Amino acid sequence: MSAVAAIATPLSRRQRGRQSAAGALPTLAVGAGSLAVFLVLVLWFTSVGAGEALSTFGRGAFGGVDPISETLTRAVPLAIIGVGAGVALRAGVFNVGGESQMIAGAVAATLVARWFGGAPAVAVWLLAVLAAVVGGAAWAVVPAVLWVRRGVSEILSTLLINFVTTALLAWVLAKTVLHDPDPTVITPQGRQLPAHLDLPLLIHGSRLHIGFLVAVVAVFATAWTLRTATGFRIDLVGANPRLAAQAGVRPTRLRIEVLLISAAFAGLAGAVQLFGLSHRLTTGLTGGVGYTGLLVAVLGRSKPLVTAVAAVVFAALLTGGEALERAGVPRTLSAVVQMVLIIGVALASVTEARR
């Protein structure tokens, strides 16, 4: 049972009996609901027909090698952050700080590239990934300490640190050694990394880089770990901390561990985006992936393999939405559909917890 479902138990027993169990196929219901919202918005507010909208969307997301590789490219950071956030969710921890931990990871990786840029690429990548993972986790230490010592909710502290970090990044890019001195650049950005550090492409002519394989490994490694005793302990803490404590698991300690682990995943995503896509530190490197990654974990119901699928779905909504925009439908329709998907899953998991 996912943590979201576990937390979402009713406050009073009174309300429990009132609702009947949902349909046998909640996934189908959520999908149909999202499709309905999509079509209603398109038909009511644009001049594009239903068939045209769906086929444009489908072709934009999956119609051929190019769209598919672009969709998978977008799914990479979502999947990496999503599986990490899912591990934390299982123990009842909401790591909202993916955005800042991703930045910390990217900055750490940039520093490694700057200091050891002359070394062989593989060595730099490995060292940078290590630095990014540590950097990401380090960014969750303050929320962890505040939570244990002062009882400050990790939801609020990680959210606040996102804003502090975004401002810090702007300063780093504008005023420190990482600043790109090119005078034609208006928005501050980092220097271009040496070309030999760009991650190799999986498909020539696309943007799909070997960071995709990193995401695949992260997904399967997490899925495997969750099947071990560690995974069981995490689920136990999420489902019933008191019972876990009686069974000899220390809930607080474990929750801090999963917070740091999810932050490390976000740091990793930062390094992958840096070497795979942006090739330089920018303010747009994260682009909200830290937040949507958490939502992907919710959509994936904290299960690594389902989360990977959810990441592809979210990415497809982005690429398909961009194709729709060219046909005259504003791309932010995608965000509305994402909202409906998330709310649908949140409702379905409550119903499941009741059964």
Partner 1 sequence: MSQLISLEFWESVLGGGLRLGLPVGVAAAGELIGERSGTLNLGLEGTMSIGALGGVVGAVSLGAVGGLLLGALAGAVVGLLFAALVLQRRANEVVVGFAVSLGGVGLATFLYRTMYARPPRIVPFKAVDLPGLRSIPLIGPVLFRQPLVVWLLPLTLAAVAWVLHRTRLGLELRAAGDAPQAALARGVAVNRVRTAAVIAAGALGGLGGALLSAGIVGEFSDQLVGGRGFVALVLVIAARWRPSLLLPAAWGIGALQAFQLKVQTSGGIGLPVELLRALPYLVTLIVLAVGVGSANAPRALGRLTE
Residue numbers at the binding site for partner 1 (CB under 8 A) = 4, 7-12, 15, 19, 41, 45-46, 94, 96, 142, 146, 150-153, 155-157, 159-161, 163-164, 166-168, 170-171, 174-175, 291-292, 294-295, 298, 330, 332-336, 338-340, 342-343, 346-347, 349-350
Q: 181-210 burial string, b = 16+ CB within 10 Å, else e?
A: eeeeeeebbbbebeeebebebbeeebebbb
**Burial zone of 335 (CB within 10 Å; 0-12 exposed, 13-18 middle, 19+ buried):** middle
- Other beta carbons within 10 Å of 54: 17
- Cα 237 from chain centre: 23
Closer to partner 1 by CB, 148 or 213: give it.
148
Q: How far apart, in whole angstroms, are the C-alpha atoms of residue 310 and residue 290?
A: 15
Determine the 3-state secondary structure of 248 from DSSP.
coil
Q: How far apart, in whole angstroms, are the C-alpha atoms of residue 144 and residue 149?
A: 9
Tell me how far, at minimum, the Cβ of 162 lies from partner 1, in Å. 8
Tell me how far, at minimum, the Cβ of 198 lies from partner 1, in Å. 28
Tell me how far, at minimum, the Cβ of 152 lies from partner 1, in Å. 5
Closer to partner 1 by CB, 126 or 170: give it.
170
Closer to partner 1 by CB, 7 or 201: give it.
7
Closer to partner 1 by CB, 299 or 308: give it.
299
Closer to partner 1 by CB, 69 or 100: give it.
100
Inter-residue contact 199 to 207 (CB < 8 Å)? no
Helix 141-150 with 251-273: angle, nearest 10 deg: 160
Query: What is the residue-wise DSSP string for 145-204?
Result: HHHHHH---HHHHHHHHHHHHHHHHHHHHHHSTTB---TT--S--BPPPPGGGSPPBSST
Tell me how far, at minimum, the Cβ of 354 lies from partner 1, in Å. 9
Tell me how far, at minimum, the Cβ of 261 lies from partner 1, in Å. 19
Closer to partner 1 by CB, 116 or 291: give it.
291
Angle at 224 (CA atoms; ends 221, 227), nearest 5 degrees = 150
- Other beta carbons within 10 Å of 267: 35
Tell me how far, at minimum, the Cβ of 97 lies from partner 1, in Å. 12
Tell me how far, at minimum, the Cβ of 1 lies from partner 1, in Å. 13
Q: How far apart, in whole angstroms, are the C-alpha atoms of residue 10 and residue 351?
A: 10
Closer to partner 1 by CB, 135 or 211: give it.
135
